[in-house]
Amino acid sequence: TSPLVKPPSPLPPFPAANFSTPVISTSDSSNPGQERTYTCMSKNGYPEPNLYWINTTDNSLIDTALQNNTVYLNKLGLYDVISTLRLPWTSRGDVLCCVENVALHQNITSISQAESFTGNNTKNPQETHNNELKVLVPVLAVLAAAAFVSFIIYRRTRPHRSYTGPKTVQLELTDHA
């Protein structure tokens, strides 16, 4: 009899995939004595991520008992992660959400600055970058147009010189007598 051969385990759909930049939002009151809830979401990564919350005041990891992490496979076969963190209210409640992809040796981090929150608010680095581009592109276009107009004006106002060919030299006659 031949020995039993175990079929190979199925390969993962992707060797590794980057997670999206985490998006942090907050809700609940920003009044002293009440709880503040943070939510961090990152999508489309592989393999399953680790998610950490970090207190920016002392760069310490926040206790996992204060957070609820949910990781699931999406329709693409990639992982999405969502984490909810509940903390007592503080006047300076800055936290970081860090999504770790072990296969890629990569940590993607976003910061939430609680003192700027009024009600629901989302701080998305990609959205901030897009807003900066919306300002930068028109400014660069105006500068390019101004440079072009300046060049045209310069070309039209400078004296026109045309090439007349080599200059001829007339020799003087000298008497050798």
In tens, the pLDDT along 7-38 reads 554 555 568 899 999 999 987 666 777 888 99
Confidence of residue 151 (pLDDT cuts 50, 70, 90): confident
| Separation between Cα atoms, residue 18 and residue 20, nearest integer Å | 7
In a domain, 138, yes or no: no
In a domain, 174, yes or no: no
Classify the phi-psi angles of 28: left when phi > 0, otherwise alpha if psi is within -120 to 50, otherwise beta.
left
Amino acid letter, 96: L
Which residue range(s) make up the domain with 79? 23-123
Residue 23's Cβ-count burial label (10 Å; 0-12, 13-18, 19+) is buried
Residue partners of 98: CB distance under 8 A and separation at least 6? 22, 51, 52, 53, 54, 107, 108, 109
Contact yes or no for 36/26 (Cβ under 8 A): yes
Contact yes or no for 108/98 (Cβ under 8 A): yes
pLDDT tens string 58-79: 899 999 999 999 999 999 999 9
The CATH number for 64's domain is 2.60.40.10
In a domain, 36, yes or no: yes
In a domain, 9, yes or no: no
Amino acid letter, 18: N
In a domain, 10, yes or no: no
Confidence of residue 124 (pLDDT cuts 50, 70, 90): low
In a domain, 6, yes or no: no
Of 107, 111, 118, the residue nearest 94 (C-alpha): 111
Residue 53 tokens, joined: 């919350």
In a domain, 177, yes or no: no
Confidence at residue 115, expressed as pLDDT on a 0 to 100 scale: 47
Q: Which of 30-34, 90-94, 113-117 has the lowest mean pLDDT?
A: 113-117
Structurally, the chain folds into a number of domains equal to 1
Residue 55's Cβ-count burial label (10 Å; 0-12, 13-18, 19+) is middle
In a domain, 42, yes or no: yes
